[in-house]
């Protein structure tokens, strides 16, 4: 699925996707087992999974009347989509402004800033080589 086709997940949908990305595939019962207490009702999780299927995030293998669900959108794809939307909505599309904001808000020390700059340099080199 292309990033421009993705839709933002609700908090509940994101929670289910985090589990499916972790376990890679599972029946509703297995998804529920991985959720924190208090566990939601089976029908609630089943409904959310069906919504995720309609949104194109999951697909399933049918075994009689039961379905085993698996992600068709990777965590990386969704993270990329979400981060780009976040930067666009909160930092006018400027990655530099976002990094500056988080650097100031998190009181980063010199070593952390150095590591960040090194990572950015590595990414810049990777992009040049592609």
Higher-confidence position of 86 and 18: 18
Q: Report the predicted TM-score, pTM, of the whole model to 2 decimal places.
A: 0.75
So what's the pLDDT on residue 23?
Answer: 97
CA distance 27 to 46: 9
Is 130 domain-assigned?
A: yes
So what's the pLDDT on residue 97?
Answer: 82
CA distance 126 to 119: 11
Q: Please give the mean pLDDT across all residues of the chain.
A: 88
Domain count of the fold of the chain = 2
Q: Which two tokens stand for residue 35?
A: 């959720």
Query: Could you tell me the residue range of the domain that residue 120 belongs to?
Result: 94-130
Residue 81: Cβ-neighbour burial (10 angstroms; 0-12, 13-18, 19+): buried
Question: Mind listing the pLDDT tens digit for each residue in 31-44?
Answer: 999 999 999 999 99
Question: Do 66 and 122 share a structural domain?
Answer: no
Is 50 domain-assigned?
A: yes
Question: Do 64 and 17 share a structural domain?
Answer: yes
- Give CA angle at 129 (123, 130), nearest 5°: 90
Q: What SS3 class is residue 37? A: coil
Question: Mind listing the pLDDT tens digit for each residue in 45-88?
Answer: 999 999 999 999 999 999 999 999 999 999 999 998 888 888 88
Looking at the chain, the whole-number percentage of residues with pLDDT higher than 70 is 92
Is 84 domain-assigned?
A: no
So what's the pLDDT on residue 67?
Answer: 97
Question: Do 13 and 51 share a structural domain?
Answer: yes
Q: Which two tokens stand for residue 121?
A: 């340099």
Which residue, 69, 93, 56, is CA-closest to 16? 69
């Amino acid at each position: 699925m292309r990033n421009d086709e993705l839709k933002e997940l609700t908090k509940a949908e994101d929670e289910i996707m985090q589990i499916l990305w972790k376990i890679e595939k599972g029946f509703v019962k297995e998804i529920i087992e991985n959720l924190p207490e208090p566990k939601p009702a089976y029908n609630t999780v089943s409904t959310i999974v069906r919504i995720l299927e309609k949104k194109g995030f999951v697909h399933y293998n049918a075994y009689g009347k039961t379905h085993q669900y698996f992600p068709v959108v990777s965590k990386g794809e969704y993270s990329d989509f979400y981060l780009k939307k976040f930067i666009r909505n909160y930092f006018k599309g400027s990655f530099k402004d976002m990094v500056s904001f988080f650097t100031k808000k998190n009181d980063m020390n010199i070593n952390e800033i150095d590591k960040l700059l090194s990572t950015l340099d590595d990414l810049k080199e990777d992009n040049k080589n592609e």
